[in-house]
Amino acid sequence: MARAQSPRRTALMTLAAWSVALIIFFPVLWMILTSFKTETSAVAMPPEFLSADWTLDNYVEVWARSDYPRFFWNSVVISVGSTLLGLVIAVPAAWAMAFVPGNKTKDLLMWMLSTKMMPAVAVMIPLYLLFLKLGLIDTKIGLVIALMLMNLPIIIWMLYTYFKEIPAEILEAARMDGAGLWNEIVHVLTPMAIPGIASTMLLNVILAWNEAFWTIILTTTKAAPLSAFIASLSAPQGLFYAKLSAASAMAIMPILILGWFSQKQLVRGLTFGAVK
């Protein structure tokens, strides 16, 4: 809804928008700045902006203290793995709900979403025992399955809303041409739904990356992702704000960079069918 405006109004709006954006972003910025300060400088009163005692020591120490690459790799495998597995299961389901809807389809969708409402803490011990019996504790595959199931309802719903926007006539035309069901999904539907699938992927990678309850409960060493990395560095003895900031920055940086590069995709896809 871009419209012509007076230059003065544009300047004012720009100023206002930038102020608001910077306020929202400021905690992240402040955390990154703090991560480059010495511990004493980090808690100085009044706070030090430019006069701070800058250093890289926090990163050096955090790096030396724990095996960051391993935590990082586990986070990548778990978040990407759970998202891909989720897509494989969700695409057919979303297709079926969007193009062959029954009278219970909407109820089914809502039921799927409601499975997410079970509070994690309440089922902690049951799920832990279950994973223990199945030998899935501290395995990447265990976490991939757990996070996939946790996010599956969201994936299905997002895909469903995309698929619904694709005109059924196109699919019918493909069917007339004799394309089989498989071809219809792979060659006709999927290409059209790429933006939707991409943003679904992105959102779910982010959700899985940021999950910090099950990933800690269900892992020890081999499969522990960055949430465990943070838990190993938060609240030790003495001054720790700068080191915590450095560790936090290292934990969120990969996903932040991914998010920034793909934000157009993400924005386009985050509609949940809310746009007509």
Partner 1 sequence: MKLTIRALLGACAIGAISTAVMAETTITVATVNNGDMVRMQGLMDDFYAKHPDIKVEWVTLEENVLRQNVTTDIATGGGQYDVITIGTFEAPIWAKQGWLEGLNDLPADYDIDDLLPAIRGGLTVDGVLYASPFYGESSFVNYRKDLAAAAGVTIPDAPTWDDIMAAAAAMTDQEAGIYGICLRGKAGWGENMAFLTSMANSYGARWFDENWVPQFDSPEWKAVLTDYVEMLTKYGPPGASNNGYNENLTLSLQGKCAMRMDATVSAGSLTDPAQSEFAEQVGFALAPDMGLGKRANWLWAWSLAIPASSDAKEASKAFINWATNKDYLALVASKEGWRNAPPGTRTSLYANPEYAALPFAKMTIDSINAADPTNPTVKPVPYVGVQFAAIPEFAGLATGVGEIFSAALAGQKTVDEALAEAQALSVDEMTAAGYIK
Partner 2 sequence: MSTHSSRLAARLMVAPSVALLLVWMIVPLAMTLYYSFRLYRLISPERAGWTGFTNYVWFFQSPDFWLAMLNTLALVGGVLVITVVLGILIALLIDQPVKGQGVLRILVIAPFFVMPPVAASILENLFMHPQNGLFAAVSMGLGTQPILFLQDYPMWSVIGIVSWEWLPFSTLILLTALQSLSSEQLEAAEMDGAGAFSRFRYIILPHATRAITVVILIQTIFLLGIFGEIYTTTQGGPGSASTTLPYLIFKQAIVAKDIGRAAAGGIIAVILANVVAYFLMRGIGRHLDA
Residue numbers 48-67 binding partner 2 by CB under 8 A: none
Candidate residues 56, 134, 213, 236; the one interacting with partner 2 per rule CB under 8 A: 213
Long-range contacts of residues 65-70, Cβ cutoff 8 Å, at least 24 apart:
65/233, 66/229, 66/232, 66/233, 68/229, 68/250, 70/224
Residue 221 lies near partner 2 (rule: CB under 8 A): no
- Which one of partner 1, partner 2, none interacts with residue 119, CB within 5 to 8 A by kind? partner 2
Residue 5 lies near partner 1 (rule: CB under 8 A): no
Residue 53 lies near partner 1 (rule: CB under 8 A): no
Q: Which residues make Cβ contacts (< 8 Å) with residue 252, sequence separation at least 6?
A: 28
Rule CB under 8 A: which of 72-101 touch partner 1? none
Rule CB under 8 A: which of 84-103 touch partner 2? 89-90, 92-93, 95-97, 99-100, 102
State the Cα–Cα distance between residues 62 and 114, nearest whole angstrom: 40
The residue count for the chain: 276
Candidate residues 15, 110, 123, 132; the one interacting with partner 1 per rule CB under 8 A: 132
Rg (Cα) of the chain, in Å, rounded? Answer: 23
- Which one of partner 2, partner 1, none interacts with residue 39, CB within 5 to 8 A by kind? partner 1
State the Cα–Cα distance between residues 14 and 20, nearest whole angstrom: 10
Residue 52 lies near partner 1 (rule: CB under 8 A): no
- Which one of partner 1, partner 2, none interacts with residue 194, CB within 5 to 8 A by kind? none
Unique residue bearing structure tokens 């960055």: 226
- Which one of partner 1, partner 2, none interacts with residue 123, CB within 5 to 8 A by kind? partner 2
Alpha helices in 43-67 (DSSP H): 57-65
Residue 266 lies near partner 2 (rule: CB under 8 A): yes
CA distances from 190 to 177, 197, 202, 217 (A): 17, 8, 16, 36
Residue 176 lies near partner 2 (rule: CB under 8 A): no
Which residues on adjacent β-strands are paired with residue 37? Answer: 54
